[in-house]
Amino acid sequence: MTFDPFHIGNVPVGGPAPFFILGPCALESEEFAWDMARSLKEIADRTGIHFIFKASFDKANRTSVGAFRGPGVLEGCRILGEIGKELGVPVTTDIHTIEQAEIAASFVDLLQIPAFLCRQTDLLEAAAKTGRSVNVKKGQFLAPLDTVNIAGKMRAFGCEKFLITERGTTFGYNNLVVDMRSLYWMREEGLPVIFDATHSVQRPGGLGGATGGDGVLAPVLARAAVATGIDGLFMEVHSDPANAVSDGPNQIPLEFIEDLLVKLIAIHHASH
């Protein structure tokens, strides 16, 4: 079973090579977002990849109540929309409520449903009915084939341009494990599959009041996923992960991303 290829802006889904969703975890500031977007656009142009810029306007599921959240939906989506228009790249961000779906759809090309909300039927319906493409992250609590039911909801709501993202499965306390078989199984069901290399190495709540992670393993899992066969790869990237306001332990340093992309492209060509 296969899906009909489609585009998110100028990025092909289901083409001969995977595309990339890249950007920082959070919209820390407008200047920071522009710096990251410009840097990643230059790298994308040099490496010849198709890329979507990602950043979150609200980190709504932080471990600690006092943790950084973000600029909010209106300001955050304004920034993303302006970045997308000026740089000529599609942009994406997370939404958490029905109201945010309509607002974000006016500015961004791809709506993302967080893993914890992947079964929220009303949110999926609201995202689908905006007419935008939708990326649904598979919950840490779901088996791979449970995503068939998510796909059924999206199609029932009239959305055929959706993606399913693998981002690890809860394994004991404060740990996630990726079963690479899930990438194959979900694609066998005719679903366009994204692999989230950075959230897959999280240790949720592993630092007590914050989420930890094994960022050094993100490139390792990314290489394995590309060899397995995927439609897209999601990686959070930061110019200074040690001082990031959110998810620093898992983000890939900007200085390393170009070399990693070159290796991933080579692996794809060697494997397919």
- CA gap 251, 254 in Å, rounded: 9
Helix axis angle for 218-228 and 181-188, nearest 10°, is 40
pTM value is 0.95
State the pLDDT at residue 269.
Answer: 96
State the pLDDT at residue 69.
Answer: 86
Residues 91-103: pLDDT tens digits?
999 999 999 999 9
| Residues of the chain predicted below pLDDT 70 | 1, 62-63, 206-212
Domain boundaries along the sequence of the chain: 17-271
Residues 145-161: pLDDT tens digits?
999 999 999 999 999 99
State the pLDDT at residue 204.
Answer: 78
State the pLDDT at residue 203.
Answer: 85
Give me the CATH code for the 17-271 domain, please: 3.20.20.70
Q: How many CB atoms lie within 10 A of CB 257?
A: 21
State the pLDDT at residue 53.
Answer: 98
